Amino acid sequence: MGLKQTIRSLDAFPRTEEHLLQKTQSGALVSVVGLVIMATLFIHELTYYLTTYTVHEMSVDLKRGETLPIHINMTFPSLPCDVASIDAIDLSGKHEVDLDTNIWKLRLNSHGHIIGTKYLSDLVENKHTTRNHDDKEHHDGSAKKPHKFSFDKDAENMINKVKKALENGEGCRVYGVLDVQRVAGNFHISVHALNIYVAQMIFGGAKHVNVSHMIHDLSFGPKYPGLHNPLDDTVRILHDTSGTFKYYIKIVPTEYRYISKEVLPTNQFSVSEYFSPMNEFDRTWPAVYFLYDLSPITVTIKEECRSFLHFITRLSAVLGGTFALTGMLDRWMYRLIKALTTPSARGAYR
């Protein structure tokens, strides 16, 4: 009996005799409210426990010899597909004009509806270039008086076709993937693939080239959860003017590690924007430039899950705290109601 009595004395939860318990309506109300609160907090804590969170780490970028994928999806509402070209140049000296690999164009009418598709290959420059210095003259926007230049039948047909497209208000949607070297460089969309004399005959001058555009998507790799590319859904429309848009992009190499240990290599970026309006003394043709540079730092984003012990600790704290709080509230309400309803108690307080 002595041992049992000693063990009973260690009980931290002494029981009250059943006949001494008193149940009240206020206690029932507080109990129901407490149960609702505890159920809500339990669901919240369970959801918090099952939801993963991300941890960011930074390290030096050690990647070498890889390519940089550039996903583009843009609309030019005032530039026909037959004259729009994508050119790319990087610090290694590689210069490509009118890129046609994995790039598609959609012809759009004046209402933005698709009226035809065409692959970007030899669209505007076949049989229309003369010498290399002509191309250089065009890119420099030289204002020298044009040499005597003869056009063949195909060139004349193309000029008439583009002029008709401009009159009809045709536009162009350009989308696809550019695979460039992993060094700083730029790519731009313009009419630079045209021979300067052809461009002059079509537009009558650089000030009449409208490079208004809408960027639906521009990214440097696949998207991961929570990524927002700052140029998505960008709209730049020009009215009665022309000029060159330049987007200066800083690319940050990124690795996203899922909870399943799968690794997704990609890139995120920041951007600043500059617009240069055309004037009569400019020697360049309007274009939309994307000038990019790479950061030497790699960001690693890892998905992590919360520990079960952490979940139990938080759950015990919120449920225990709620139970203790409702118990205090019940005692205060009981005493208040008793003080207000018992005459002797009111007299005693006086």
| Residue 122 reports pLDDT greater than 70 | no
SS3 of residue 45 by DSSP? helix
> Tens of pLDDT along 149-175?
455 677 788 888 888 888 888 999 999
| Residue 123 reports pLDDT greater than 60 | no
Q: How confident is the model at residue 201 (pLDDT cuts 50, 70, 90)?
A: confident
> Tens of pLDDT along 39-95?
999 999 999 999 888 899 999 988 877 889 999 999 999 998 888 888 989 888 888
In this predicted structure, what is the pLDDT of residue 91?
86
Q: How confident is the model at residue 232 (pLDDT cuts 50, 70, 90)?
A: very high
Domain boundaries, the chain: 26-52+307-340, 63-115+149-304
Whole-prediction pTM: 0.71
Which of 330 and 231 is assigned the larger pLDDT? 231
In this predicted structure, what is the pLDDT of residue 57?
92
In this predicted structure, what is the pLDDT of residue 16?
63
Which of 215 and 336 is assigned the larger pLDDT? 215
Which of 17 and 215 is assigned the larger pLDDT? 215
Which of 19 and 84 is assigned the larger pLDDT? 84
Q: How confident is the model at residue 344 (pLDDT cuts 50, 70, 90)?
A: low
Q: How confident is the model at residue 132 (pLDDT cuts 50, 70, 90)?
A: very low
Average pLDDT, the chain: 81
